[in-house]
Structure 1
Amino acid sequence: MMSAMITLSLMIWIHLSLGADLDTWMDVSFRISKLNFIWSKAIHHLTDKAMIKRLKDELNKFDSLYLSAKARSIKNEKLVLEEVDNKLVQLLEKYGLESAVNAYMKKYKWRNEEQEENIVLPSEKFKDSKLQKLWHAAQNSRFSKTALKILHKELKDHEQKMELYEQKVQLFNEFDDNTLIENPFEVSDKLNRELKVHHNDIMDSYDKLHQKVALVSQKIFSNEKVENLWHLALQNPNFTATELESIRIELNHFDKRLEKMKYYDEELNVVKKQQEKLGKLSVFDEDVSSFEEENKRLQRKLRKLENYLETKIVHTEL
C-alpha cells in the first residue's frame, strides 16, 4: 500500500513538474508573429528540456535578425528576409520541426483566401475602349481579387495620363491659333517636345499593362501547382522584372523535377504490376525497393523546393 502511495505521489509530482515547465515555456513570446507560431508548435513537439532551451535561444537570435532585416532599406529588405527565412527552415529541420513551417504557410494561405472572399471589386467602367477590353480580359483570367483591385487602379491611373495628354494637345492647338505670344516658335517647340515625352510615356505604360494581363492569361508550365505559383508571383506588385525572371527560372527547374517525379511514379507502377504477376518473391523485388527509395528521395527534395518557393513568392508580413 505504501509503495503504491509513493508511486502515485511520484507520478503526480512528475505531472505537476511537467505542467509547470509547459506553462513556463508557454509564457515565452517573440516580437515576430511567425516565431510565436513556430514556438507554440515546438513546445508540444519537443520533450527534451535542454533542446527546448537551445531552440528558444536560437529563436531569440532570429527575432533580432528579422527585426534587423525589416529595419534595413526597402530595396534590400526582401532579399535579406528570404535569406533569414531559409536559415530558419534549416534550423527547424535540425529539430524535426519542418511541419511547423508548413503549418504556418497553410495558415497564411487560408487567411489570405478569407480576405480574398471579402474583397469587393470596383464596378466603374473605363472610357477608353482598349482599357475596358484589357479589364474584361483580366476579369476572365486567373487574376486574384487582390490583383484585380490593384490592376483596376493601374488602369485608372493610365486613363488619367491619357486625359492629361489630351488636355495638353488641346492647349497646344490653342497656342498655335494665338499670334500674340512672344517667341512663338521657341514656346511651340518646347510644348511639342513635352507632348512627345508624354505620348511615349503613355505608350510604355499601356504596353506594360497589356503584357501584365497577357502573362497571367497564358500557360507556360506543365504542372498546375507550378503554374499557380507563377501567377501568384506575377500578381505580386513588389517583384521587379529581374526578380520575376529569376523566379521563372526557379519554377521551370521545379516544373522539370515534378515531371521527373511523374516518370518515376509511372516506372514504379509498371514494376509493381510485374511483381504482382510473378509473386512476392521475384527478381523484381530489388527493382521495386530501389524505385521506392528513389521516389522517397525525390519527394523529400521536391517538398523542400516547394516550401522554399512558396516562402519566397507568398511572402507575408512578419
Structure 2
Amino acid sequence: KLYSGPKLADLYAELKIQDKTELELKKLKAEDMDKDGMKEAEVRRRLMDILERYNMKKMISVPQPEDMSNELPETFDHQLRDKKLQKLWKKAQFGGFSEWELDKLKEEFLHHQMKVDEYNSLHEDIKDDYIDNSIDLDQNKVRYMDEKKKQKKLKLIYKDLKTDYDKLEAIASSSSVKDKTFQDPRVYELWALAQKAKIPREELESFKKELQHFEHRLQKHDHYQDQLRVSEEAVRINYKDGEKPEKHTQLEQTVRDYGRKVEKYHNDLKYRISKAVQQHTEL
C-alpha cells in the first residue's frame, strides 16, 4: 500500500537514515571492522523494523529513499502539464487523503488539465489568426470579428479555469492530518527527517524555527508566482507577441531573484539536515 501525507514523509525519513547506516556498514565491512557481524545484524534488524511498521514486509524489493518522494505513476504525472496543477497535486499528496480520495482527485485534476489545454489551443488559434494587412479590407473585417469572438471566449474560459482551480485548491488544502506543524511538503520532509535523526531537543527546536521561517519565504515566493501567472494571462490576452508592460517585467525579475534565494536556502537546509543525520545516526 502506498502512503500519502506525513506518513509518506516519515517513511522517507526513516529510509533516508537507513541508507546512511547501510553506507556506514559497508565502510566497516570494507575495513574488516565487523568480524562478528553484530553491526550488520543491527542494521538488518532496523530495516526489518521499518518494513514491519509500514506493512512492507511482503514487498519483493524495498524502494530507494529518493523514489519515495513521489507516489504518482509516471504516466499520470506527465499528464499534468500545468505547473500550478503539478504543485497543487503534490500538496494534495501530503494532505492526508485516502487512496480512494486521491483517485477521485485525479479525475478532477485531469478534467482541469483538459480545460487548460483547450484554453492554450484557443490562444494559439488567436495568434495564428492575427490580422494580416496584406489581405483585402472585407476579409480583414471578417477575421477581426472572428478574433473578437475568440477573445471573448478566451476570457470566459480563463474565468472558468480560475473558479475550477480555486475549488481544487480548497479541496487540496482541506487536510485531515492532525499534525499541521508545516503545510508545505518540502518543509515537512525536512522536518520529518530532522525528527528521525536523533538530534538533541534544543537543536531540533532551533531547526524547527528556521523551517518556519523558510516556509514563510516559500509562501511569499508562491504569492509572487501567483501574481506573475495572473499578469501573464493579462499580457497574453491584451498585448501582441513580445510586448510587455514595465510592471510585468519587474514582476518577472522579482520572481527570478526571490526564487534563487529560496532555492539556495532550501539547498542549504537539505545539506545541513543531511549532515546532522550523519552525525547523529548510530549503528
Task: Give the TM-score normalised by structure 1.
Answer: 0.35
The structure whose residues are more often helix, as a share, is 1
Larger-gyration structure (1/2): 1
Higher relative contact order, structure no. (Cα contacts within 8 Å, ≥ 6 residues apart): 2
